[in-house]
Amino acid sequence: MSGEFGGKVAVVTGGSLGIGRAVVERLAAGGAAVVFCGLDEESVRAAETQLRDKEHDVTGVVADVTDAAQMNGLVGLAVERHGGLDTVVTCAGIQRYGTVEDTTEELWDEVLGVNLKGVFLVCRAAVPELRRRRGGTIVTMSSVQAFASQDRVAAYTASKSAINGLTRAMALDHAADGIRANVVCPGSVDTPMLRWAADLFRGDTSQDDQVAEWGRAHPLGRVARAEEVAELVAFLAGPRSSFITGAEHRVDGGLLARNPAALPEV
């Protein structure tokens, strides 16, 4: 019960890997009871075992964020096991590549289903439970690509921009219930998803070299660690951010601060 989240209950989607895994650990280390989901059973069980070995109160569930019944069940499990719900963090997400010309309907539906519909479904299930606690927090995971897109990521960029808009809408709609909603927009983060992308584009270089190359695009000269993003999530999920809602928070190593039209060296 000790810590800033002592006595609190959180649900985290996409919590077995990457940013989601770091968020689960950060909230649990702060005293929260965390129920998280992932799509891959092996990674869910591994994360659950590792975090329980650290004496964290976590429960891992294999669940698909695009399935309404499974998201209702995820939230229901948290309430049944711990008596209520205080925080929802939506970290489930996928990256796919393509322009609007070569993106198939199936690919579009896959990306928008996981990245956007998944946020909608878990938040729809969670809001009544947050209201019963007379307030709570929602933290959604977006991307800097909600503001400035790469090439060939039409579906991904569309999904992340929509998450920002959905989060603003939830912040307004549920402010009177004491529910705050904020969105986190990371730059490049060293996660399994980034490593997967690095393998796609590394050519003759190594995976590590490609990740380092992407890191050099950030003024701080590297990609982020998942734990650094989790710290911002913890701030927004907790009482220290009590007057912040409906806001977009970049954690991008200065990536979007830079104008690419640099001055010549003198």
Known catalytic residues are: 156
Q: 209 and 230 in one domain?
A: no
- The CA distances from residue 150 to 97, 116, 145, in Å, are 10, 19, 7
167: containing domain: 9-187+225-249
- Looking at the fold, whether 177 and 230 belong to one and the same domain comes out as yes
Alpha-carbon gap, residue 52 to 190, rounded angstroms:
24
Residue 265 falls inside a structural domain: no
Residue 259 in domain: no
CA-to-CA distance for 142 and 91, rounded, in angstroms? 8
The tally of domains found in the chain comes to: 2
Quote the pTM value: 0.96
Distance separating alpha carbons of residues 131 and 127, to the nearest angstrom: 6
For residues 16 and 139, membership in a common domain is answered with yes
Per-residue pLDDT of the chain (266 residues; tens, 9 = 90+): 468 999 999 999 999 999 999 999 999 999 999 999 999 999 999 999 999 999 999 999 999 999 999 999 999 999 999 999 999 999 999 999 999 999 999 999 999 999 999 999 999 999 999 999 999 999 999 999 999 999 999 999 999 999 999 999 999 999 999 999 999 999 999 998 989 898 989 898 999 999 999 899 999 999 999 999 999 999 999 999 999 999 999 999 999 998 888 778 77
